[in-house]
Amino acid sequence: MTARRAAPVSAGTPAIAPVETELKLRIAPEAVARLPRHPALAAVKRGRARRARVVSTYYDTEDCALAAAGIALRLRREGRRWVQTVKGPASAAAGGGVAARSEFEWPVAGGKLDPLRFATTPFRRALGRAEQRGLAAQFTTDIARTTIPLVFPDSTMALLCIDVGEVRTADAGPVVRAPIHEIEIELEAGDVAQLFDLAHALAADVPLAFEPASKAERGFALRRPPVVAPIRASDADLPARCTAGEAFAAFIRACLRQIEGNAHGVVVHDDPEWIHQMRIGVRRLRACLSLARKGMAPTRIEPLRVELRWLAQALGPARDLDVFTVDTLPAFTDAVRHGGTAAPLAVALAKLAARAATRRKEARVLARAAVASPRFVRLVLFAAALANASGANAAGDPRHAANLAQPARDYARPLLRRRHRDLVALGTDLAHATPEARHAARLAAKKLRYATEFFASLYPTKRTGNYRRALAALQDELGLWNDTHNAARLAAELAGPQSPAAAAFSGWAAARGAERGDALAAAWGGFAKARPFWPPR
């Protein structure tokens, strides 16, 4: 769907890249017919729905060089017109259901590509090389599109498209097909927050899910199935002179890309890494909101904090039981076997393993149900709305507005300094500290690590990398201790606090904690030597 077009330009004249920004959501097939009658949609319709068949063919080289560069080249028939489109890679504004890419379009004659137009885009070199190597049709999307024009009370204008159809391969071999059922909401003019409010209202009643992949990406996946892997955390790339509000918008988007990018995997795959990575994304977003409290008004962030706590509580038991079942229990079993005490504990350990496996399955069912629920979709939409309305996040409070408007470096410096100081105060003699003291240090290290990950790109120095590595090593060591400590707690819950297995686990956890004292002391020493990377003033 495209509402904003590239301005006409002559061949060879580079154009300013127009950006197509839209909310993209997958819709259950059985809900397509009733969506246009939804009260929230009916209230903002500004005219009759238009229906059309849209057939687009995508072109690339034999080895899909353009797709590898994030570029899509398309030829589409619109009535009697043919339109050639080039789309660039996803921009930093993508995330939380938002698709944002630069886009160029031109009318062309005869239903054929016009390579002269390639020179008017920032991707002219990649397109030129692809044209020299040979461009061929790769796949086709055949869509029945219903377009509904919208106008909101504040005069914001948008288009909502309901797309139903398929994507299919376009070569001479056996045709491979995949269905498409999705909605796209694109802002034409006005306040983007209205789009999120509408999507939030629709998601309360209509089965919607996030669709991170574009139609082009799904088409190329038919030809060359991608390696499916969990999405890991990535740093937000911050301009050196960005404001705190701009920085937090980038942080939220980066967290959302990790959360929504792992949603499908959590629901359909058994690999525990999907839940682990989504849980990290949730923790990072919660940490981001904690850092934003001096800038974003409580009325803007507290509802999201409540929802993130709900999601964390759904994911946490599943992750803890994954670690216990896959990592800790086998390590404990090996330890008792080598210690010559396996035989007396054999029955108790078998019962513990069976109960852990049952609880793990139950926890995974609950985690999947949470991620597949409308509540999860609304949570991500709410967070994405925060990222796209940083000015409104002050909620009219001059102090919050001033904090969001200040340079991100000025906002970050006292936060980093305070969190560093908090960790230093808790780090005395961690090797011999009580479990409570180690737990407090672990939480302080985690908070500091998230803060440094968020703001590190504002300080691109060698010292920044050294500090982050030392802090990560410390947090990882504290995390290993915490996993062992949690294992003893889980064993007591699963087997009963008085059971032989729980007693053995408790002793093993205490011994491992003592054994890792030297490693923990070394990690702390490495961190203590790392100099803070932010300026003192």
Model confidence at 1: pLDDT above 80: no
Taking residues 232-245, report their average pLDDT. Answer: 91
- Is the whole-model pTM more than 0.75? yes
Model confidence at 402, in pLDDT bands (50, 70, 90)? very high
495 and 397 together in one domain: yes
Nearest to 191 by CA among 150, 149, 147, 155: 155
387 and 442 together in one domain: yes
Do 223 and 217 touch, CB atoms closer than 8 A? no
User: How many separate domains does the chain show?
Assistant: 2
- Give the mean pLDDT of the chain: 90
27 and 95 together in one domain: yes
**Is the residue at 131 inside a domain?**
yes
**Is the residue at 3 inside a domain?**
no
pLDDT in tens, 326-336: 999 998 888 88
Task: Give CA–CA dist 416/426, Å, rounded.
Answer: 16
What is the model's pLDDT at position 410?
96
**Is the residue at 316 inside a domain?**
yes
74 and 143 together in one domain: yes
pLDDT in tens, 136-188: 999 999 999 999 999 999 999 999 999 999 999 987 778 999 999 999 999 89
Sign of CA dihedral 126, 127, 132, 136: positive
Ranked by mean pLDDT, the top range of 86-100, 452-466, 499-513 is: 452-466
173 and 309 together in one domain: no
**Is the residue at 251 inside a domain?**
no
Three-state secondary structure string covering 249-301: HHHHHHHHHHHHHCHHHHHHCCCCHHHHHHHHHHHHHHHHHHHHHHCCCHHHH
Model confidence at 9: pLDDT above 80: no
**Is the residue at 263 inside a domain?**
no
Residue 403 domain boundaries = 273-341+355-529
Taking residues 447-458, report their average pLDDT. Answer: 95
217 and 315 together in one domain: no
**Is the residue at 44 inside a domain?**
yes
Model confidence at 15: pLDDT above 50: no
305 and 178 together in one domain: no
What is the model's pLDDT at position 484?
87
**Is the residue at 235 inside a domain?**
no
The CATH number of residue 184's host domain is: 2.40.320.10
Task: Give CA–CA dist 368/315, Å, rounded.
Answer: 9
Model confidence at 212: pLDDT above 90: no
193 and 93 together in one domain: yes
Model confidence at 20: pLDDT above 70: no
The CATH number of residue 511's host domain is: 1.40.20.10
94 and 211 together in one domain: yes
**Among residues 207, 226, 245, which one ends one of the domains?**
226
Out of 12-26, 102-116, 335-349, least confident range: 12-26
What is the model's pLDDT at position 18?
65
**Is the residue at 231 inside a domain?**
no
Taking residues 16-25, report their average pLDDT. Answer: 74
174 and 285 together in one domain: no
303 and 438 together in one domain: yes
518 and 450 together in one domain: yes
